[in-house]
Amino acid sequence: MLKLSIPGYKEDISIHHLVLDFNGTLAIDGKRIKGIKGALTSISKKVQVHVLTGDTYGTAMEELKDIPCKIELLSKLNQAIQKEKYIHKIKPATVISIGNGRNDRLMLKLSVIGIIVVQKEGASAETLMAADVVCPDIHSALDLINNPSRLTATLRS
């Protein structure tokens, strides 16, 4: 568990889950982004890591096989709703989520903290408006979780 207290924003948060999108967030064109294994492994010692994906390229299981995480393959239709339902199931007040696509907007909005990453695939404007934090890449986003005082610095009033 990860405890956060962000003055003037959200105090006494207990994070139990990190929920991530795969393509555009952890992977580009179906290939895992270099260097995320160590960060996710470190995070997995504090919270449960979940990856939700429509698996556009059919590579998620192989690309994530050596990372301690739960992988949920989504059907092609209504992925935003599927992600939202998943967050509801594990309790939104305990979730930090990270994504970039339009199908991530409900997940980011519902989570206690939603982070959008803007990488080579870009990011949906709707999702940007649903996010609490904007990061230039997945490494910066994962660093916020591994160094939570950065989240406090970004979100405090």
Closest CA to 42 of 70, 68, 72, 5: 68
Range of the domain at 142: 2-155
- Rounded to whole angstroms, the Cα distance separating 121 from 99 reads 11
What's the angle, vertex CA 128, arms to CA 127 and CA 131, rounded to 5?
85
Q: Decide if 74 contacts 81 (C-beta within 8 A).
A: no
Domain count of the fold of the chain: 1
In this prediction, residue 2 carries a pLDDT of: 94
- Rounded to whole angstroms, the Cα distance separating 13 from 34 reads 30
Distances (CA, A) of 104 to 3, 24, 54, 140: 24, 11, 11, 18
In this prediction, residue 10 carries a pLDDT of: 85
Is residue 98 classed as helix, strand or coil in its secondary structure?
strand
In this prediction, residue 54 carries a pLDDT of: 95
Q: Decide if 95 contacts 14 (C-beta within 8 A).
A: no
Q: Report the CATH number that the domain containing residue 102 is assigned in CATH.
A: 3.40.50.1000
End-to-end CA, the chain = 24
* Beta-ladder partners of 95: 17
Return per-residue pLDDT of the chain as tens, 157 residues: 999 999 999 889 999 999 999 999 999 999 999 999 999 999 999 999 999 999 999 999 999 999 999 999 999 999 999 999 999 999 999 999 999 999 999 999 999 999 999 999 999 999 999 999 999 999 999 999 999 999 999 999 9
